[in-house]
């Protein structure tokens, strides 16, 4: 029978009692049972080895070549230190899958390094942001290559799908709360009506209300920075401004509120505008308790990839239909506007839609109201800006 080695490294024999707030209550014996059950379904045989010694793990990998078709390896802390284990895997040419129970990317920065990764065919770790649930046996987070991730983002059919993907990818780098904003209505003095902003966030309501209800957005130091710059910027800048007493009263209030909400360290990216009226930016907040120094270290290593992923997400967001509840169009309103966009007058549209002229006029008036504009020409432009015109069936839900 095809046999797989499940190899566990140091301290994993203590699962169940070891740091339950991180690893949960699941014991290694529980994990063995889960693996055996699953392997039986797949028609595989599994052999379990656990050792607290680096040499014993290396010996097990060497011996595996003779008896197993592959290895599932949780090397514990040796993941982050053992070149010898990496060499052992490279020497036997067996497929090795690197696994972890916790979300190593949301923990201390030294756990972000893996010597197993370069020689593993796949990496899996917990997708949870806060740990403690133990091994659920459910699918974990996979180290999808940058290329595969970007392809999946490009293929997203809705903002929801894209945003979920982006949020979980950013969490791998320790950014657990994001706020993305985009406007097409920027002028010298304003960013436009907040109802027209594309805002995507996984911050809680309280956090968002603080900014949007009180008109504080324009006072936030990183928003001001984003309006005047393109590229990526560490939030270290805010603390330097604070030290040099350069923050306005409103900015200090925002800083205080952010501290209360555990929003203390992060990075912002401001996207290159495509027209004089547009601006998009994203704020990436590091996990509560993680210092700006740690965030800056993550950025030094992965900043270029993170910037690339955010830029691709931004470009894709600009192409997907977006409608806030107050701006949503009905099917009839959309259809009437689309005919206007095609150059038809009310009489043509009435014939094309099989309606009376007053009914067509009514749909167009309601479309203008929904979009909060005075003229139908403006309504066509605004609906087009929000990608609400000529949308595909697959996008109708958004
Ligand atoms: C671990 C993560 C390692 O950083 C840690 O040293 C372990 C367990 C995990 O499964 O989450 O021992 O590999």
d(CA 233, CA 282): 11
What is the whole-number distance in angstroms between the Cα of residue 302 and the centre of ligand 1? 21
Residue that wins the pLDDT comparison between 382 and 133: 382
> Out of 38, 68, 78, 100, which one is annotated catalytic?
100
Q: What is the pLDDT of residue 353?
A: 97
Report the nearest atom of ligand 1 relative to the CA of 10: 12
The best mutation among 102, 116, 127 to test binding of ligand 1, ranked by most ligand atoms within 8 Å of the C-beta, falls on: 102
pLDDT at residue number 138: 46
Residue nearest to atom 12 of ligand 1 (CA): 76
Q: Is the pLDDT of residue 129 over 60?
A: no
**How many Å apart are CA 288 and CA 194, to the nearest integer?**
28
76 in contact with ligand 1, CB cutoff 6 A: yes
Question: What pLDDT does residue 256 have?
Answer: 95
Other CB atoms within 10 A of residue 72 CB? 20
- What domains are there in the chain, each with its CATH number? 3-135 (3.40.50.9100), 148-317 (3.30.450.80), 331-396 (1.10.10.10)
Cα(101) to centroid of ligand 1, in Å?
Answer: 7
User: For residue range 70-108, what is the model confidence (pLDDT) as tens digits?
Assistant: 999 999 999 999 999 999 999 998 999 999 988 887 788
3-class DSSP string for the chain: CCEEEEEECCCHHHCCCCCHHHHCCCCHHHHHHHHHHHHHHHCCEEEEEECCCHHHHHHHHHHHHHHCCEEEEECHHHHHCCHHHHHHHHHHCCCEEEECCCCHHHCCHHHHCCCCHHHCCEEEECCCCCCCCCCCCCCCEECCCHHHHHHHHHHCCCHHHHHHHHHHHHHHCCEEEEEEEEECCCCCCCCCCHHHCEEEECCCHHHHHHHHHCCCHHHCHHHHHHHHCCEEEECHHHHHHHHCCCCCHHHHHHHHHHHHCCCCCEEEEEECCCCCCCEEEEEEEECCCCCHHHHHHHHHHHHHHHHHHHHHHHHHHCCCCCCCHHHCCCHHHHHHHHHHHCCCCHHHHHHHHCCCHHHHHHHHHHHHHHHCCCCHHHHHHHHHHCCCCCCCHHHCCC
231: left (phi over 0), alpha (psi -120 to 50) or beta: left
Q: Is the pLDDT of residue 131 over 80?
A: no
**pLDDT of the residue at 288:** 84
State the pLDDT at residue 184.
93
Name every residue whose Cβ is closer than 8 Å to that of residue 315 and which is 6 or more positions away in sequence: none
pLDDT at 282 over 80: yes
Q: Within 13 Å and on the Cβ side, how many CA atoms surround 368? A: 12
Q: What is the rounded distance in angstroms from the CA atom of residue 250 to the CA atom of residue 282?
A: 21
Strand order in the sheet with 198-201: 198-201, 175-183, 279-286, 266-271, 231-234
pLDDT in tens, 366-392: 999 999 999 999 999 999 999 999 988
CA-closest residue to ligand 1 atom 9 = 100
In angstroms, the CA 165 to CA 391 distance is: 22
The verdict on the CB of residue 100 being under 6 Å from ligand 1 is: yes
- Whether the pTM exceeds 0.85: the reply is no
Q: Where does residue 345 fall: left (phi above 0), alpha (psi -120 to 50 degrees), or beta otherwise?
A: beta
The predicted pLDDT at position 211 comes to: 79
- Model confidence at 132, pLDDT cuts 50, 70, 90, reads very low
The pLDDT assigned to 378 comes to 95
Q: What confidence tens digit (pLDDT) does each residue in 201-231 have?
A: 999 889 988 877 767 888 899 999 999 999 9
Strand partners, 268: 233, 283
Least confident interval from 139-153, 155-169, 199-213, 324-338: 139-153
Pick 398 or 31 by higher pLDDT. 31
Quick one: pLDDT at residue 190? Answer: 85
Q: Which residues contact 342 (CB under 8 A, 6 or more apart)?
A: none
23 as an active site residue: the answer is: yes
Ligand 1: which residue has its CA nearest to atom 13?
76
| CA 77 to ligand 1: nearest atom | 6
Residue 85 CB-density burial (10 A; 0-12 exposed, 13-18 middle, 19+ buried): buried
**pLDDT for residue 127 is more than 60:** no
């Amino acid at each position: 029978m095809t046999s797989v080695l499940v190899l566990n490294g140091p301290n994993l024999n203590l699962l169940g009692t070891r740091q339950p707030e991180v690893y949960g209550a699941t014991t290694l014996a529980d994990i063995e049972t889960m693996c055996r059950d699953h392997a039986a379904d797949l028609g595989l045989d599994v052999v379990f080895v656990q050792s607290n010694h680096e040499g014993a793990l290396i010996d097990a990998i060497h011996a595996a070549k003779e008896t197993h078709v592959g290895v599932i390896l949780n090397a514990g802390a040796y993941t982050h230190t053992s070149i010898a284990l990496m060499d052992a895997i490279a020497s036997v040419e067996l497929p090795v899958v690197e696994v972890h129970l916790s979300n190593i990317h949301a923990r201390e920065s030294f756990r972000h390094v893996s010597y197993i990764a370069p020689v593993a065919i796949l990496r899996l770790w917990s997708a949870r942001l806060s740990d403690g649930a133990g091994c659920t046996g459910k699918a974990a987070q996979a180290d999808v290559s940058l290329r595969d991730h970007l392809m999946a983002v490009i293929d997203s059919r809705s903002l929801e799908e894209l945003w979920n993907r982006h949020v979980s990818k950013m969490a791998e780098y320790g950014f657990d709360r994001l706020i993305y904003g985009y406007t097409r209505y920027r002028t010298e003095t304003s960013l436009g009506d907040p109802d027209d902003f594309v805002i995507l966030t996984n911050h809680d309501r309280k956090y968002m209300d603080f900014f949007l209800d009180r008109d504080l957005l324009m006072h936030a130091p990183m928003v001001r920075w984003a309006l005047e710059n393109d590229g990526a910027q560490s939030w270290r800048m805010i603390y330097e401004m604070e030290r040099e007493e350069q923050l306005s009263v409103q900015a200090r209030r925002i800083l205080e509120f952010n501290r209360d909400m555990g929003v203390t360290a992060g990075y912002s990216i401001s996207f290159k505008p495509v027209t004089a009226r547009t601006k998009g930016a994203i704020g990436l907040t590091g996990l509560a308790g993680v210092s700006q120094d740690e965030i800056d270290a993550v950025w030094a290593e992965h900043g270029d990839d993170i910037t690339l992923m955010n830029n691709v997400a931004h470009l894709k967001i600009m192409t997907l239909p977006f409608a806030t509840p107050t701006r949503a169009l009905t099917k009839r309103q959309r259809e009437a506007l689309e005919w206007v966009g095609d150059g038809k007058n009310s009489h043509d549209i009435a014939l094309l839609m099989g309606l009376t002229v007053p009914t067509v006029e009514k749909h167009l008036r309601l479309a203008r109201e929904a979009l909060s504009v005075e003229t139908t020409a403006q309504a066509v432009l605004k609906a087009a800006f929000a990608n609400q015109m000529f949308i595909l069936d697959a996008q109708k839900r958004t």
